[in-house]
Amino acid sequence: MNVMGQRQLVRDSLLMIADVRLDGVEGDHQVRVRNLSIGGMMAVSDVPAQVGQALQVALPRVGWIDGTVAWRQDGRFGIAFGEEIDAAAVRSPIKPGEWAQRRRQTAEELAIAASQAAAEQF
């Protein structure tokens, strides 16, 4: 999907904190998420994100997602996700302490844990 196509996706306004890892920039950086869709999000932060820069963003219930900086303006920037996410899951309530633990894990670790949890239910 192109950038214009992603702008047509339904975006939900919200305010939450997410961690971002920018390619070529050391460490995790916290950003405020102002809106979210299945294909991307708007972040507010002074991190040195540049248009076209690859990154990863950690979202509740989804984990680390690959993306690209789509635009930047006045302390805000858009992130186009590499694949669609379950935006409703990101907004769903989490237990105290659950997110702190989950954002330290990789997306692969989360997928393995989810498969194991599903197998235990049956």
Domains and CATH numbers, the chain: 3-121 (2.40.10.220)
Q: What is the pLDDT of residues 83-109, one digit of tens each?
A: 999 998 888 876 666 656 555 555 566
Paired residues of 73 in beta bridges: 76
Pairing of strands 54-59, 12-22: antiparallel
Per-residue pLDDT, 5? 46
pTM of the model: 0.69
